[in-house]
Amino acid sequence: MELYGRDLICTQDWTFDELVATLELAARMKRDRFSDRWGAILRNRTFVMFFYNPSVRTRLSFEAGLTELGGHAQFMTPSAGRFKSDKQAGETIEDAAKVMARYAAGIGIRILEDRVPYYGAGDEMLREYAYWAGVPIINMADDRFHPCQALADVMGWAEWLGQGPGRPDYGALRGKKLLLSWGSGALARSWCSVQAAMLIASRFGMNVTMAYPEGYDLDAEVISWTKQNCQRNKADFEVVHDPDSGYDGAHVVYCRNWVSPEAYQDGSLQKQREIERAMAYTGWTTTVERMARTDNAIFTHPMPVDRGSEVTDEVASGSRSAIYDIAENRLHVQKAIMALTMGNL
């Protein structure tokens, strides 16, 4: 299987076998983290990290991963250059991508909801970079997808339902129920993490239930892909619009706030309006009482967690919370992605 030179913008772009191979390498890297076998894979190679939006986990995990693979992570923000946009003249994506590719073995880009004029613009930008760059483009989260988070998620779920850290059992996920619940909170979060989670879960044969208030539908194309994945795996997909019933029989609970489809107007995210709209809905918090309705489910979240709104402290810090294990897995899956797409294995 040849992944060298490949982009990773959405997990749906890779075959199931390619995803499994990446996850298997990530597990080996986790079990033997500081082995000499990994330390020279990216020796003398630079990975450009282009951040339109900040992130604690993304920056630290990529930088640590590059160090552990023997390479160098170069941090960059739009303020470091003059890039063309609707509002200013500057360097085109074609020129920027071609120049970056002369310096680096790969490019990671992170661009989320408040840095784009309309939903999908960030994902379009990544795909334009991929067209021109000639080196792998790794999606560090755009406004549609978050593939690195999705791989960390599914690895963590399979560890919890398998034999523990570094020993995931992906077969144990088949037929298990994932609840993706909208969460309360004064935030205006993008759809990327939730959509990435439903895509990866359905690829691995999980039953997917979505729970959210009326008017919070996600990307129709992503929902269609999820349904197709479920059909291929003889799994179920359902949507409910109450905050309680989805917990019944769940094995993995994922609660996250996200914006409505009307979030953009006049070329920008209407953040305050979205916050006010979300605050009108109460009672969508994951609690101990709701978790008691599940089949001893684990709690999962991509972080940062809006404690007290999306989920209570008792659940987020409880004995069935997988959030820190999954945060750690970002390091391991990203090392595997970079090793396979731009390394010398």
Separation in Å, CA 311 to CA 289, 307, 318: 11, 5, 11
Separation in Å, CA 305 to CA 72, 150, 185, 288, 297: 30, 16, 10, 16, 18
Can you tell me the distance from the alpha carbon of 96 to that of 114, in angstroms, rounded to the nearest whole number? Answer: 22
Q: What percent of the chain has pLDDT over 70?
A: 99
Q: pLDDT per residue over 67-100, tens digit each?
A: 999 999 999 999 887 776 766 777 999 999 999 9
Tell me where in the chain the CATH 3.40.50.1370 domain(s) lie: 11-144+327-342, 149-323
- The per-residue pLDDT for 77 is 94
Does residue 261 have a cis peptide bond before it, meaning omega lies within 30 degrees of 0? no
Our measurement of the distance from residue 108's CA atom to the centroid of its chain's CA atoms, rounded to an integer in Å, reads 13
- The per-residue pLDDT for 79 is 86
CATH 2.40.50.140 fits 149-323, yes or no: no
- The per-residue pLDDT for 187 is 86
Can you tell me the distance from the alpha carbon of 256 to that of 146, in angstroms, rounded to the nearest whole number? Answer: 14
Question: Which residues of the chain register pLDDT less than 50?
Answer: none
- The per-residue pLDDT for 344 is 73
Q: List CB contacts of 103: < 8 A, sequence separation 6 or more.
A: 46, 48
- The per-residue pLDDT for 87 is 65
Answer yes or no: pTM beyond 0.85. yes
Q: What is the 3-state secondary structure (H, E, C) of 222-246?
A: HHHHHHHHHHHCCCCEEEECCCCHH
Q: Which CATH superfamily is domain 11-144+327-342 in?
A: Aspartate/ornithine carbamoyltransferase (3.40.50.1370)
Tokens of 229: 């994945």
